[in-house]
């Protein structure tokens, strides 16, 4: 029995992956403390103290937990921090209050003196798609021709240089709400005729990339040094050819295990080493010429639908890394 305390940072509406990882941690002898950030601060208290020359951190979510003796943290999700606070705080103070809530939470997590998968500062660093792509190239990975800009003229020139075969996407994932409906912003194909409609590009930069012909799309999940690779033929469905997520539900049973070439595995592990990452969900494209292209890595990318295809082996590996039972980068 290890009796190691593992803090899982998530939210109340997270999926069954939390249960699977928690069960494995407990099976291996660890203790799980779950922190649902959407209950902070309305239903949860968080306190950092420095007294008698000693730091202590207290999480009180109905049960009091002392976090200064944690063994590891899994920063799984931080959605909806401060949920419900808008119903309590006057509108004029809401932005400032929300900012203080997030700063306090993120500061506490960053300062925890234990292994973390991953640190908040690492997530923020990986927000830079530019740095991701540069490091990918340094690790030997191929990437699509890319333009990140708010200049319609530069984008038009880039599209012409790519012979009109370009896709566009945002730097971050988000939804637009209209008339109470959630509309997810997907990757879309454009050409030079669309640039005339980009009047607002000046005020909101976007990512433009060479459109790659796809033999397969791959989601590669790496935990520690263990690689779980799956592929999908997204070209079967017209609506999924540019962005498979548009048909995510209908394609969920189409994913298949895929054996990556050893040289690609080494390149991806080198990428993980560069960032000292222990979890990464990586998107790749395999072209008809059998060339692999790196698109991006998400250090908190979803994996639950792939976990089902490997008997929850991804969740088991996460538990092992958190408990220090297998290789991990520290």
pLDDT at 234: 81
pLDDT at 235: 76
Q: Where are the domains of the chain?
A: 4-117, 145-208, 213-323
Residue ranges for the chain with pLDDT beneath 70: 1-2, 164, 173-185, 237-242, 244-250
pLDDT at 90: 95
pLDDT digit string, tens, across residues 272-283: 999 999 999 999
CATH number given to 213-323: 3.30.470.20
pLDDT at 1: 47
pLDDT at 241: 58
- The two tokens of residue 6 are 């593992």
pLDDT digit string, tens, across residues 288-306: 999 999 999 999 999 999 9
pLDDT at 71: 98
CB-based contact 11:37 (threshold 8 Å): yes
Residue 3: which of 33, 22, 28 has the closest Cα? 28
For 219, other C-beta atoms within 10 Å of its C-beta total 22
Please tell me the pTM assigned to this model. 0.91
CATH number given to 4-117: 3.40.50
148-182 b/e (C-beta count within 10 Å ≥ 16 → b): bbeebeebeebbeebeeebbbbeeeeeeeeeeeee
């Amino acid at each position: 029995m290890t009796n190691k305390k593992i803090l899982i940072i998530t939210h109340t509406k997270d999926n069954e992956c939390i249960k699977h990882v928690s069960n494995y941690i407990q099976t291996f002898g660890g203790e799980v403390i779950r922190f649902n950030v959407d209950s902070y601060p309305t239903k949860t208290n968080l306190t950092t103290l420095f007294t008698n020359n000693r730091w202590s951190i207290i999480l009180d979510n109905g049960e009091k937990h002392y976090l200064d003796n944690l063994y590891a943290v899994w920063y799984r999700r931080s959605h909806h921090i401060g949920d419900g606070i808008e119903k309590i705080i006057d509108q004029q103070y809401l932005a400032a209050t929300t900012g203080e809530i997030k700063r306090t939470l993120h500061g506490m997590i960053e300062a925890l003196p234990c292994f973390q998968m991953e640190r908040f500062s690492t997530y923020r660093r990986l927000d830079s798609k530019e740095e991701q792509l540069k490091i990918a190239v340094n690790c030997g990975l191929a990437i699509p021709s890319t333009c990140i800009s708010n200049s319609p003229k530069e984008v038009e020139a880039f599209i012409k240089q790519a012979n009109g075969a370009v896709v566009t996407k945002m730097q971050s994932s988000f939804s637009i709400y209209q008339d109470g409906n959630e509309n997810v912003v997907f990757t879309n194909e454009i050409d030079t005729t669309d640039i005339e409609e980009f009047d607002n590009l000046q005020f909101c930069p976007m990512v433009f990339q060479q459109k790659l012909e796809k033999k397969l799309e791959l989601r590669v999940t790496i935990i520690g040094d263990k690689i779980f690779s799956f592929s999908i033929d997204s070209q079967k469905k017209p609506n999924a050819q540019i962005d498979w997520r548009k048909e995510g539900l209908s394609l969920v049973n189409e994913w298949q295990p895929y054996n990556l070439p050893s040289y690609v595995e080494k390149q991806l592990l080198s990428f993980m080493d560069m960032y000292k990452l222990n979890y990464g969900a990586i998107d790749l494209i395999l072209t008809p010429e059998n060339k692999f292209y790196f698109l991006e890595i998400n250090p908190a990318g979803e994996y639950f639908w792939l976990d089902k295809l490997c008997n929850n082996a991804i969740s088991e590996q996460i538990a092992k890394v958190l408990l220090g039972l297998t290789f991990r980068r520290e």
